[in-house]
Amino acid sequence: MKLPASLRVTLTACMVLGLVVLYVPLILIVLNSFNSSRTFGFPPPGLTLDWWQKAASSSGALSALGTSVVAGLCAMVIALVLGTMAAFAVQRFEFFGRSTISFLVVLPITLPGIVTGIALNATFVQVLGPFGVALGLATVIIGHATFCIVIVYNNVQARLRRMGTSLEEASADLGANGWQTFWRVTFPGVRGALVAGAVLAFALSFDEIVVTTFTAGPAIQTLPLWIFSNLFRPNQAPVVNVVAAVLAVVAVVPVWLAQRFSGDSTTSRV
């Protein structure tokens, strides 16, 4: 569209500045992982690959990674089932209180993380504790699943809305029963959204730390918890730097996968 040249230049400058601000810290993290000095200083005195080797054999980081993967996969499956069910209910049925469902689904990420964390902690420890519930991996998964539902829900709901109902109606008119229509028409249509939602739900769980702190208990250490507990230990710093660099770089994976499978570009968390 036609805009005055001065405005175009200003906006372009703002965009470039914004991208620089967004990416410089990430680049710095990657650079820092090759820093040959144990203590941080800028510019780094030299570059080395030693820390990468050390990180690859850091048992603490690797076991935390394992915990995070298990928690992320379980939370993802729960969120996938619940989010898809809610999305179908809202998009394919008319009923009283439909907008309330959307509000309920989005609430866990709208409320401050500390509120969700304290609320779940109070329930697990004070109410369910006497019944034998203890903070552990299961409670982490329950907490993560709760705020991951919205991502699956948003993706599937957007896709269902775009698809409309005419294909499903055509399938029914041609004599297919409910299951046939679902498996042959509806499911292939939403498959991409399901994959995108699942990937993003996993990524959200993988990164979460606030709610995790309050639901994990002492024996469970996810990768973010491991990083946080090692962040201020000087002799662990080089390994933390490498883990941080890896995490900064793998951020492109969920975005790339979600873009590829969804096409709705709903890669935002909101």
Partner 1 sequence: MRPGARLALLLSVPLLWLVVMYLGSIAVMLVSAFWTVNDFTGAVEQTFTFDNIRRLVTEPLFATVALRTILVALGVTVIDAVFAIPMALFMSKVASPRLRLGLLVAVTTPLWASYLVKAYAWRTLVAPNGPIAFITGGNTPGYGLAATVITLAYLWLPYMIIPIYAGFDRVSDSLVEASFDLGASAWRTIRSVALPLVFPAIAAGSIFTFSLTLGDYIAVGIVGGKTQLLANVIYGQLVTANNQPFAAALSLIPLAAIVLYLFAMRRTGALEKV
Q: How far is the CB of 93 from partner 1 (least distance, A)?
A: 5
How far is the C-alpha of 187 from the C-alpha of 181, rounded, in Å? Answer: 8
Question: Which is nearer to partner 1, 7 or 174 (by Cβ)?
Answer: 7
Total chain residues near partner 1 (CB under 8 A): 88
What is the residue type of 96?
F
Which residues within the stretch 211-270 sit at the binding site for partner 1 (CB under 8 A)? 213-214, 224, 227-228, 231, 240, 244, 247-248, 251-252, 254-255, 259, 265, 267-270
CB 159 within 8 A of CB 193: yes
Min separation Cβ 167 and partner 1, Å = 18
Structure tokens that stand for 58 in this block: 């850091």
**Contact of 202 with 251, CB cutoff 8 Å:** no
Residue 197 engages partner 1 in binding (rule: CB under 8 A) = no
Pick out residues in 24-63 that bind partner 1 (CB under 8 A): 24-26, 28-29, 32, 40-43
Separate counts of helices (H) and strands (E) for the chain: 13, 0
Contact 91, 229 (CB under 8 A): no
- Of the two residues 70 and 247, which places its CB atom closer to partner 1 in the complex? 247
Question: What residue type is assigned to position 42 of the chain?
Answer: F
Give least dist CB 109 to partner 1, A. 8
Establish if 112 lies at the interface with partner 1 (CB under 8 A): yes
172 binds partner 1 (CB under 8 A): no
Q: Which stretch binds partner 1 (CB under 8 A): 17-25, 52-60, 133-141, 184-192?
A: 17-25
Interaction of residue 125 with partner 1, rule CB under 8 A: yes
C-beta of residue 71 within 8 angstroms of C-beta of residue 143:
no
Euclidean distance between CA atoms 8 and 148, whole angstroms: 39
Q: Does 134 bind partner 1 (CB under 8 A)?
A: no
Q: What CA–CA distance (Å, rounded) separates 140 from 134?
A: 11
Return the range that interacts with partner 1 (CB under 8 A); candidates 49-57, 58-66, 85-93, 161-169: 85-93
Cβ proximity to partner 1: between 41 and 175 the closer is: 41
Quickly tell me which residue has 């999305």 as its tokens.
87
- Looking at residue 101, its amino acid is I
